């Protein structure tokens, strides 16, 4: 019988788990937490039963994913949170904006718990409500507000989602960004896409067939976004100046080096990567698409994957018959996502066992109401 990952967690030897399967993925992750905690986590999870649902994002540590009831990207987990009306507690192993969305989508009697409140997102922090409202005032001044549909990436605060919902827009994830932007252009003449410029640009050009010149970049740190009135008026897509600190670091040089060092390798990247990286890659898609692509790939095929390191290493472990590499050896894992570790998850579960509710994420009702409008529009998209 194959040894389960949870057994290796208890032994404290993730490296052994990978070695047994011939994993060759480059890149380093933090050492696993104290394996003595695993038995306690198993016991707590058993006691809590169906009153708790644990959601685990693909970028989480393996020691956390081992206890997740559902694993997925932000879109899949948002749907899971919305569909489960029975669990009293949702433990969200992700980052703050994801837990906010879960709180907005769940029933009033349910509580969403984030095991570590410090698990944030640098991209989400790149767009504040006051900055976005200042930009919208410029659109109003130019008479563009009724023609412009905001589309905000899931990686944004509840306040930004609320702004989007109040102004007729929708939320998107990397899985459905194309459909969301097409929907927005069916509702209006322009898209105000925030906060990830790369996902917005890649979707507009590679999926919608727009030209790079149809997109302009709004810099919130410059007057009127650093743009002229004519640039704003003529643009089809106004991109917010934000990015993912992990995906934004993959470079064209990384792609060239991989092709040089591993002839015949396929480059598979996330659409949060820079436009030139996406353009030079063989396959581009969300985390769910990346997983499905590797699952369907033939044995012996070679892959360089440009996304968060936890997911790449997990794919390499699950598919030892394929030669899987991390696109950039120097890039780190998502440090904020990795704040959720086994000790924090265990603390949240054992606290619930003792009837102590910790780290509840609760969005203010008015903000939640408008944000839910935007999220519901996303969930209603085909």
Whether the CB-CB separation of 102 and 55 falls below 8 Å is answered with: yes
Equal fold, 33-120+336-364 vs 247-326:
yes
Tokens 């991109």 sit at which residue? 239
CATH topology for the 247-326 domain:
Rossmann fold (3.40.50)
pLDDT for the residue numbered 332: 60
CATH topology for the 124-244 domain:
Rossmann fold (3.40.50)
Instruction: Find how far residue 51's CA is from the centre of its chain.
Output: 26
Task: Enter the DSSP assignment of 331.
Answer: P
Supply 216's token pair. Answer: 């302009």
Q: Is 370 helix (H, G, I), strand (E, B) or coil?
A: helix
pLDDT for the residue numbered 79: 84
pTM: 0.83
The residues that bridge with 376 in the sheet, in sequence order, are: none
Residue 2 CB coordination number (10 Å): 7
| Blockwise average pLDDT, block size 10, the chain, 382 residues | 42 39 45 77 96 92 93 85 93 91 92 92 89 98 97 94 97 93 97 97 97 97 97 98 90 96 97 96 94 97 93 93 90 72 94 97 96 93 85
Half-sphere exposure (Cβ direction) of 29: Cα atoms closer than 13 Å: 27
pLDDT for the residue numbered 337: 72
pLDDT for the residue numbered 175: 87
Q: Is 356 helix (H, G, I), strand (E, B) or coil?
A: coil
Instruction: Find how far residue 288's CA is from the centre of its chain.
Output: 11
Longest Cα separation, the chain: 68
pLDDT for the residue numbered 193: 98
Instruction: Find how far residue 320's CA is from the centre of its chain.
Output: 26
Strands 215-218 and 190-194 turn out to be unpaired
Structural domain boundaries in the chain: 33-120+336-364, 124-244, 247-326
Spatial separation of the C-alpha atoms in residues 360 and 91, rounded to whole Å = 9
Whether the CB-CB separation of 340 and 116 falls below 8 Å is answered with: yes
Q: Does the domain made of 33-120+336-364 have the CATH classification 3.40.50.10800?
A: yes
pLDDT for the residue numbered 15: 39
């Amino acid at each position: 019988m194959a040894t389960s990952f949870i057994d290796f967690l208890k032994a404290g030897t993730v490296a052994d788990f990978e070695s047994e399967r011939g994993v060759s993925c480059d890149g380093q992750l933090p050492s696993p937490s104290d394996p003595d905690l695993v038995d306690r986590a198993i016991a707590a999870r058993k006691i809590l039963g169906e009153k708790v649902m644990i959601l685990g994002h693909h970028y989480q540590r393996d020691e956390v994913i081992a206890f997740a009831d559902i694993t997925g990207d932000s879109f899949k987990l948002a749907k899971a949170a919305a569909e489960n009306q029975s669990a009293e507690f949702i433990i969200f192993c992700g980052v703050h904006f994801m837990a906010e969305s879960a709180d907005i989508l769940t029933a009033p009697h349910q509580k969403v718990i984030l095991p570590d409140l410090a698990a944030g997102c640098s991209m989400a922090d790149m767009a504040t409500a006051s900055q976005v409202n200042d930009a919208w005032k410029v659109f109003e001044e130019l008479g563009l507000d009724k023609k412009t549909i905001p589309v905000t990436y899931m990686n944004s605060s509840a306040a930004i989602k609320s702004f989007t919902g109040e102004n007729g827009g929708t939320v998107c994830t990397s899985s459905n960004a194309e459909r969301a932007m097409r929907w927005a252009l069916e509702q209006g003449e322009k898209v105000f896409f925030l906060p990830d410029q790369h996902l917005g640009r890649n979707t507009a050009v590679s999926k919608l067939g727009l030209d790079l010149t149809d997109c302009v970049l709004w810099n919130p740190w410059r007057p009127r976004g650093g743009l002229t009135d004519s640039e704003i008026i003529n643009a089809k897509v106004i991109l917010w100046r934000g990015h993912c600190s992990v995906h934004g670091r993959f470079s064209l040089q990384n792609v060239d080096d991989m092709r040089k060092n591993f002839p015949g390798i396929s480059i598979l990247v996330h659409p949060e990567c820079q436009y030139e990286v996406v353009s030079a890659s063989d396959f581009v898609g969300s985390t769910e698409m990346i997983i499905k692509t590797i699952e369907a790939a033939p044995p012996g095929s070679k892959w360089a994957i440009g996304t968060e390191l936890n997911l790449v290493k997990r794919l390499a472990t699950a598919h030892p018959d394929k030669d899987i590499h991390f696109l950039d050896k120097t890039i780190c894992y998502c440090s904020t996502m990795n704040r959720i570790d086994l000790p924090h998850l265990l603390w949240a579960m054992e606290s619930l066992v003792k009837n102590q509710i910790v780290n509840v994420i609760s969005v203010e009702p008015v903000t939640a109401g408008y944000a839910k409008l935007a999220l519901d529009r996303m969930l209603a998209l085909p």
